[in-house]
Structure 1
Amino acid sequence: MNEWTDIEDLVSRAQRGDRQAYGDLFEAFWPSIYAMALARLRDVDEAQDLAQDVWVHAYMKLDQLRQPAAFAGWLRQITARMVINRVSRRHPGDLADDTLIDDTAAPCDAPLDQLIQREELDGLRQGLDRLKPMDRDTLLAFYYNDQSLETISRESAAPVGTIKRRLHVARKRLRQEVECALQ
């Protein structure tokens, strides 16, 4: 069995409630998550705190991960979003530059992984640019600004069910746009 198959197995077991499997995932991925947080936050205590928050969030949302093989990227995405949220609360002007998103790759990533991640980010950015404003705004509010469904509902004067539908449709459209951008 190779390393990625082992990780898929651990994720599947953790999704079924196996705490030891989640602990093994923690041991395997803690260094890269911590390094990613430290690279952006440049504060040991804050990076450790954020990395812990990432693991708690990932544990709470693990049942939403549909493809266990995508765990590493999913965890990096959670970390990147939480870093952005933490930095934006600390220094709101820091988000004006796309380099914040681009620089969230962990410094320990292999060059090929960095290239693939950069291509995926470019595809994501292009896909977001091609979406209708309502789709883009809904996705950014939920994933980038970490707003709850209730907050988005209140701000857009639409029922929570409508916001859920918008997110579902927007994710589907974004997936199609990203696939087109990466071809």
Structure 2
Amino acid sequence: MAGANDQRDQTIDLDEPLLVERVRRGDREAFGKLVDRYSEQAFAVAYGFLQHAEDAEDLAQDAFLRALERIDRLDRGSPFGPWFYRLLVNAALNRRKYLARRRMEKIPEGTTGPGDPAADAERAVLRNCLASAVDALPDDLATVVILHDLEGFTHPEIARVLEIPEGTCRSHLSRARRMLREGLKELRHP
């Protein structure tokens, strides 16, 4: 997950507060630079919650629009990244709840190239089992496990995004993993 951490490290530079100030004054080009910096990771986080590329892309775009609309709510001098990821996570949780209410039978995704159909089917079943197990977690636990295990966020980064102590982040992750193990056992052996 070095790529995810590298992108976030690049975003914490000296010109970011200047970009935010320019965005506050209506500079769309400055906002475009922030979007460029965070778009890849925003999509990855959204995909971690939704497990569907088009929904994740829509959600990431919606989160950027929401950030633009609410940029004046970002405290001056505060970093854009954690604030933006909090907007994104909240939107992802809301979208997950909405989709869960209207969920229909999912068709497993195929692979893009030639391969073993049995192995592809097994991967699709495993992916669906894992997605079901994550969906069954309480939102606070699902959020931590998605950010940490799927997206490579560190405990300090998650704590900053979710505005919780690092110890709480660690205990949420431990509890989520335990619940996932139990949930996957139940799915495999009903």
Q: TM-score, normalised by structure 2?
A: 0.56
* Aligned partners of 1:4 and 1:69 also within 8 Å: no
Pair 1:22 & 2:31 matched: yes
* Aligned partners of 2:50 and 2:56 also within 8 Å: yes
Structure 2 unmatched runs, 5+: 1-10, 102-134, 169-190
What does the per-residue CA deviation read over 1:90-123, in whole Å, with 9 as the maximum and x for residues that have no partner?
Answer: 22674635322213427454xxx51203445542
Pair 1:114 & 2:154 matched: yes
* Aligned partners of 1:80 and 1:104 also within 8 Å: no
One-letter amino acid of the structure 1 residue matched with residue 39 of structure 2:
W
| Counterpart residue number, 2:69 | 60
Pair 1:72 & 2:81 matched: yes
When Rg is computed on C-alpha atoms for both structures, the one with the higher figure is 2
* Aligned partners of 1:11 and 1:68 also within 8 Å: no
Distance 1:103 1:20, change over 3 A: same
Distance 1:118 1:10, change over 3 A: closer
| Counterpart residue number, 1:84 | 93
Instruction: Write the distance in 2 (CA, Å) between the matches of 1:5 and 1:69.
Output: 12
One-letter amino acid of the structure 2 residue matched with residue 103 of structure 1:
V
| Counterpart residue number, 2:141 | 99
* Aligned partners of 1:37 and 1:47 also within 8 Å: yes
Return the offset for 1:87.
Answer: 0.5
One-letter amino acid of the structure 1 residue matched with residue 165 of structure 2:
G
One-letter amino acid of the structure 2 residue matched with residue 54 of structure 1:
A
Return the offset for 1:69.
Answer: 3.5
| Counterpart residue number, 1:51 | 60
* Aligned partners of 2:156 and 2:166 also within 8 Å: no
Instruction: Write the distance in 2 (CA, Å) between the matches of 1:70 and 1:35.
Output: 20
| Counterpart residue number, 2:13 | 4
Instruction: Write the distance in 2 (CA, Å) between the matches of 1:125 and 1:53.
Output: 31
Distance 1:102 1:68, change over 3 A: same
Matches within 5 A, 1:26-45: 26-45=35-54
Q: TM-score, normalised by structure 1?
A: 0.58
Structure 1 unmatched runs, 5+: 127-183
When the two structures are aligned, how many residues end up with a matched partner?
A: 122
Pair 1:123 & 2:132 matched: no
Structure with more contact order per residue of length (Cα contacts < 8 Å, sep ≥ 6): 2
CA RMSD of aligned residues (A): 2.7
